[in-house]
Every structure is written in structure tokens, then in C-alpha cells.
Structure 1
């Protein structure tokens, strides 16, 4: 064998080893977090409670029609949510009617959901973990 062949074999082996090392390190970093606290928290699913349909005017003259349900934290939270349904509807109406059409666009809808969950948790003593727009039409 000449020098070029030996050098090519050596470089191929070296590069293959480096790719293997880098791949192993990358896989460990993504698959095995350093701290157990970094692992994804599995959220417990709670009961889904329909709140109702909302048809209201947005700021600036547009209108919104939405069918909304909320997810309780656990089975016990359903009673707290149902007993406060009138207050929950009022709070949802207040929040949604204060928004403009830009505030209800798909790109910022998650922010709107978070604001509604925060407002509803004030009413229900933190018994709401999520809100669902079953239908959402604006014009």
C-alpha cells in the first residue's frame, strides 16, 4: 500500500470515530436530561366542562363567536367550576370584549387562552387548567 491509501484509510477511520462520538454525546444530551427536574411533567387530565357559546363585539367594531369549554384540575374541580358558571361567563365576556381583532388572531390565541385561564382561576380558586375554543369565528 502506498502512503495515500494508508492516509485515506486513517482519515476515514478517524472521521467515522468522531461522527460516532458526536452522535453519542448529542443523543445523550437530548434523551437523558442532566437533572431529573428537567424531565417533562405529565399533566393529569381533568374533566372538560362546557361553558357555552359567546357572541360579542370586539373593540374596533368586529365581532366574535366562540364555543368555549374549560378543563378542570381534577374531578373535585368540576363542582367549583359548575357552581361559578355565571361568574365564569361574565369574566370570559369581559376579557373577550376588551380585545381587538388583532388580539384574537391564531398567532396570539395561546396568549389569550393563558389570560382567560388566569382570570378563571381567580374566580374558581385555581381549579381551571386549560380552556378550549371548540369553535372560534371572528369578522
Structure 2
């Protein structure tokens, strides 16, 4: 192309143009032959490429949907943060109350277990069952 534009002589341009056209036609024929020879491989490659492109597009759409869902969840959690904090604190309070109730239940059973230990003469084990506050209360007021 540069030769055609830089040439001053019309005949040189026509000669160069003819050579270019011949080369183009030869390339076109060679390409047609290659396509005929490798038609099966070419169609397989095109189908594979198309399949891969469709999968990539599908994956991108799915990722876009997941991102949108995550943003939505994030916004909902942000809106519900105070309520979640309140529920979390209530859960801690309920857990503490359950622990206290378990302790009370355990203390309720101390007299029966204490009597059983005393009857079997396991005095050391019996004293281990008594909470410190019971021992102080049994000793009476401080003098």
C-alpha cells in the first residue's frame, strides 16, 4: 500500500496493484483449501469456543447475581444490627439465668446427698458439697 501511494508512475502503480491482487487471490485460495482440509477441526474449535464463551457469560451473570444478593444481605444485616445486638444480649442474659437455675437445682439436692454421705460416713465428701456460704451460715454470726 505504501508503494502504491509513493509511486509517481501510473504504470508502476498498476503493476504493484496487480501483484497485490494476485497475492490476495492466492491467499484467499490457500485459506479456502485450509478450511476444506480442516473443516471438522475448525467447526469443533468454533463450537468449543462458543461453549466456553456461553459458560463465561453465564458465570458472569451468576456472579453478578451473587454480588447483588450479598449487598442486599449486607444492607439487611446493617438495618437489623441493633435488633441483633439486643437479641444477643438477651441470649447472654438467658444463659446466665439458666446457669443460676442449674445452681439452685444443684443446691436443692444438697440436703439429700449430704444425708447420704453422712450415713455412709464420707464426711470429707460431705463437706466438699457444702457451699462456703452454707458453712459460714452454720457457724453462726461472726463474733
Do these two structures clear the TM 0.5 threshold for a shared fold by scoring above it?
A: no
In terms of fraction of residues, the more helix-rich structure is 2
In terms of fraction of residues, the more strand-rich structure is 1
State TM-score, norm by structure 1. Answer: 0.32
State TM-score, norm by structure 2. Answer: 0.31
Larger Rg: 2
* Structure ranking higher on relative contact order (CA contacts 8 Å, 6+ apart): 1
